[in-house]
Amino acid sequence: MRNPVLLLIAHGSRDPRHAATVHALVRRVRSLRPDVRVETGFLDFNIPSVHGVLESLATQGVRDVVALPLLLTRAFHAKADIPAVLADAPPQLRIRQADVLGPSPLLLTALERRLYEAGLSPADKSSTGVVLASAGSTDPEAIAVIADIAREWRHTGWCAVRPAFASASLPRTEEAVRELRALGCARVAVAPYVLAPGFLPDRIARGAAQADVLADVLGPAPEVARVLLERYDQARVPALAALGA
């Protein structure tokens, strides 16, 4: 029994760095699992579209697909946009929507990887306050998840961790930086909890102007690829079981 095709669903952006980063992540995933066919579709701005990829797969005779949102929280896109696009797929396709990537301990490891790449070391943790800066959402569930991640991360040895949001919610990155300064942290670092560059990550970067360290986006970090494949396997196994594999 063949593995289902893995369809990664990205948001899309007018910023060319966004698609380039998504494609870099896809290349890493393919290198880890050469037995899995990996395709990419975008919800907006970039091509191919999700609908276009699904039409192409159906034309090629593909029947089983795991659709995996390249999203870190379950907000509007995961709950409404993506299910609507998948519902409009060719009827011969059997599609399972995998869970979003977060939360996951692997993503915390990826965040720390980016902070260390930006100049921090494990010895700096106890004296460094971290701003966990996400894109933001109007969805209460998504906001609560970011707050929970910040609390969990604080217990791994950082001086303090504060959530911040680039849109829709408060506080903003610059406000969280000021709060950590007021707490007396010797240094302040901003860790973007976003997958790829674009408009909102640029806003996070501007808000980090008074921080000591600004980490890169998560992008194609190996931990991101690993959690992505975890979500694929979680969705894939029930799909194969239903087919008697």
**Per DSSP, what are the bridge partners of residue 160?**
129
Q: What are phi and psi of 88, to 5 degrees?
A: -95, 10
The token pair at 143 is: 């906001």
One-letter amino acid for residue 154 of the chain: R
**Among 199, 136, 205, CA closest to 166:** 136
Rounded distance between C-alpha atoms, residue 140 and residue 24, angstroms:
31
Q: What is the pTM of this model?
A: 0.94
Please give the chain's pLDDT, 245 residues, in tens.
Answer: 689 999 999 999 999 999 999 999 999 999 999 999 999 999 999 999 999 999 999 999 999 999 999 999 998 888 989 999 999 999 999 999 999 999 999 999 999 999 999 999 999 999 999 999 999 999 999 999 999 999 999 999 999 999 999 999 999 999 999 999 999 999 999 999 999 999 999 999 999 999 999 999 999 999 999 999 999 999 998 655 555 54
Q: What are phi and psi of 20, to 5 degrees?
A: -60, -40
Q: Tokens 């039409």 map to which residue? A: 55
Residue 128's H or E segment, with its range, is strand 128-134
Q: Tokens 């194609």 map to which residue? A: 220
Residue 8's H or E segment, with its range, is strand 5-10
